[in-house]
Amino acid sequence: MRQDLTEIEDSVRKALEVTLRGCDELLPQPEWIGKLQRSQRTGQPLRIKLGLDPTAPDIHLGHTVVLNKMRQLQDLGHQVIFLIGDFTSMIGDPSGRNTTRPPLTAEQIKVNAETYYRQASLVLDPARTEIRYNAEWCDPLGARGMIELASRYTVARMMERDDFTKRFKAGTPISVHEFLYPLMQGYDSVALKSDLELGGTDQKFNLLMGRHLQQEYGQEPQCILTMPLLVGLDGVEKMSKSKGNYIGISEPANAMFAKLLSISDDLMWTYFTLLSFRSEAEIAALKAEVEAGRNPKEAKVMLAKEITIRFHGAAAADAAEQDFQNRSKGGIPDEIPEVTLSGAPLGIGALLKQANLVASSSEGLRMVEQGGVRIDGAVVSDKGLKVEAGTLVVQVGKRKFARVTLG
C-alpha cells in the first residue's frame, strides 16, 4: 500500500510541475492536487477546458501559450476540450476593453472557427481533443434560461471587475449585454463539467465565474490556471493582431524565423519559457551559458528554429535559417531604432524615408531597384509596394535597420 501511495505522489508531483511551468496563477492549488490524486487513483482523466472566441481569422503565437499548456496536460493523459465560442463571439468579450467590442456575424464566426481549429491542431493532438461549440447549450437556454442564469450573480459583484469599474468611473458606456459574457463563459464550465479552465491573466474574472456557477448548479468547482500574456515584438504591449506586433502561426517560415530573431535578448527567455518545449533545466543551462559569454543570438536561433519546425516542418525551418544566414552575417542587431508611423498602407519609398533609413523617397526606390531593401528578411522587389499596418523589421543595405510599427 505504501508503494502505491509513493507512486501516486511521484506522478502527482510531476503533473503539478507540468501544470505550474510558466503559469501566472493556479487556484486553488490544494484542490488541483486533490483532483490529480483522484484521477491517478481512479484512472479517470480530468476534463480540461480552453475556450477561444474566433474573433480574428488566424491564431498567433500569443494564443499558443495556453495551447502549449493544454498539450502538456493532454500528454499526461487528461481530456482536453477545445471550446470554440461561436455563441459568445456574438456578445464580444469585454475583458481588457475600454469600449464595447463589436459583435461578429455568423458567417465571420464560422470561417474563423474553422481556421482556429485547423491551426490549433498544429499544437494539440487532434485525435485526443474534444471539440465543442458553446452555441450547443447557449442557444437552447432561451430568454427564460438566460434570466434564470443572470439571477445567479449580482451587479455589485460584476462591477468589482476592473475593466467595468474603470469604464463606469470614466463615464464610458457599458452595455447590459456585456454583463452576459462572463456569465455565459462561466456557464460553459457547467455544461462541460470541467475540472480545470485555462486562460490568460486577463481572463481571471471569467474563469472564477465558472467556479461560482458550478457551485450554484451543485457541481464540484473547477480550478483555474492563468498563463501570462505573451509580450509582442515591440517588447511592450501584449501580442495582438490589432496592435500589429504579432507572429501568426500560418505566416511563411522565413517571416516567422526572422520575426523571432528580431525580439530582444531579454524577451527571448520569456519566449523560451512560454513557447519552447525544452525542459526548464535545459533552458536554465542555456541561459547560464549566455551569461557566461555565449552569443545570445545562438540561443535565439535555437528558439526560432524550434518554433518554425513546429508549424512548418524541419525542411522549411532549415531553409529559413539558411536564408537568414545568407542575407546577414551577423543577423539583425539586438539594438535597432524603433519607429512608429501612420498612414498605412504606405508606399515603400515613403516608409523608408520616414523611418530615416534613406535621405529621400527616390533614394529608397533606387535601393529597392538594386535589391537592397528587405522587410522581415524578404527582399522587396516591387517599387509600387504599399506596406500594410503591422510591426516589421526593415533593412536597407547591410547595416541600416529599423523596427517599424505602421498604423
CA distances from 275 to 49, 63, 139, 156, 305 (A): 19, 10, 36, 38, 12
Are 82 and 155 part of one and the same domain?
A: yes
Model pTM score: 0.73
Are 222 and 286 part of one and the same domain?
A: no
Give the pairing type, strands 79-84 and 47-52.
parallel
Please confirm whether the linkage preceding 345 is cis (ω < 30° from 0). yes
Cα 177 to its chain centre, rounded Å, is: 26
CATH of the domain at 283: 1.10.240
Residues in the chain with pLDDT values less than 50 = 1-3, 5
- Of 320, 51, 346, give the one whose Cα is nearest residue 209: 51
Residue 397: its pLDDT value, please? 82
Residue 120: its pLDDT value, please? 87
Of 227, 261, 276, the position where a domain reaches its end is 227
Q: What is the CA radius of gyration of the chain?
A: 24
Residue 1: its pLDDT value, please? 35
- Domain membership of residue 309 as a residue range: 253-327
CATH of the domain at 392: 3.10.290.10
Are 323 and 352 part of one and the same domain?
A: no
Of 327, 354, 378, the position where a domain reaches its end is 327
Residue 230: its pLDDT value, please? 95
Are 265 and 388 part of one and the same domain?
A: no
Are 294 and 275 part of one and the same domain?
A: yes
